[in-house]
Amino acid sequence: MDPISLCLLAAGICKQIQAGCDLYRECKTQFVEIKKTGEEAIAIGKEAYGFWKQLLQFFGGKPKPQQQQASQVAAKKKREKFVEVDEEEILNDVVDQLIQFFHLQQQLADHIRESEEKSRTVYDPNANLFEAAIKRVRAADQMQVMVNDIRMAMTWNAPKELGALYSKVMEMREIVGAEQEAARLAQESKAKRMLWQRQQREASQRLKLGVSVLTLILILYLWRLLFVLTKQRIT
């Protein structure tokens, strides 16, 4: 897949991540507002219940259990509204989209690195240098813009959970990236060493074949010489 196509796919995922972050922020804001409203309602109910309790005690009565049950039912309804939104599911969706985005980003980096390696080692007379260069630069710039957009969506004007998630993901990504880079270099070094060993074996085999052919030619020459000398002697 060419760099432009990778960037188009990444752009779609970037928008989904931003939408997920916006949804999480809205749900979190409503969550807090509902919680605040519920707490205020409960506090008002407690104050009213306390007032009626004191008033009934003053006149020698007792608070009706219906009033207490009504306050509990109201608080229960607030709590039910409070847990309607599944924030964990939204976070999981954002994480899944991040995984897909970083996968495409890695594909783009691999594509650019392979293209650079091919350009250094393989000559292509039909290659359009300007087209290849502008595709690489454009793709890299667009990918960096999307990375910045994701960082803004998850850190600026966002709940602290998203910021913490982004920081942890990026820290772990740096660690995994360093490990993968070390593994890639080791793999490339091993591949180059195996290639050199194979070339050495092939060179050794060619040398042995050459020596064998020369030896055979020398034996045939000596045999021919001996045959000629023997024939002349007999004659």
pLDDT at residue 149 in the model = 92
Contacts of 30 (CB under 8 A, 6+ apart): 85
**Positive/negative CA dihedral, 53, 55, 56, 57:** positive
176-211: pLDDT as tens digits = 878 888 888 899 899 889 999 999 999 999 999 989
Asked whether 14 and 146 are in contact (CB, 8 A), the reply is yes
Is the residue at 42 inside a domain? yes
Is the residue at 108 inside a domain? yes
pLDDT over 70 at 114, yes or no: yes
**Mean pLDDT computed over 43-51:** 53
Is the residue at 73 inside a domain? yes
pLDDT at residue 15 in the model = 92
CA dist 176 and 154 (Å) reads 21
**Mean pLDDT computed over 15-31:** 83
Is the residue at 136 inside a domain? yes
CA dist 179 and 120 (Å) reads 26
Is the residue at 170 inside a domain? no
pLDDT at residue 160 in the model = 84
Give this prediction's pTM: 0.56
Domain that holds residue 107: 3-158
Asked whether 95 and 20 are in contact (CB, 8 A), the reply is no
56-82: pLDDT as tens digits = 555 555 545 554 454 444 444 444 444
Residue that wins the pLDDT comparison between 30 and 62? 30
Is the residue at 96 inside a domain? yes
- In percent, the amount of the chain with pLDDT more than 70 equals 72
pLDDT at residue 59 in the model = 53
135-169: pLDDT as tens digits = 778 888 888 899 999 999 888 877 888 888 888 88
Per the structure, the count of domains in the chain is: 1
Token output for 130: 């300007």
Residue that wins the pLDDT comparison between 46 and 17? 17
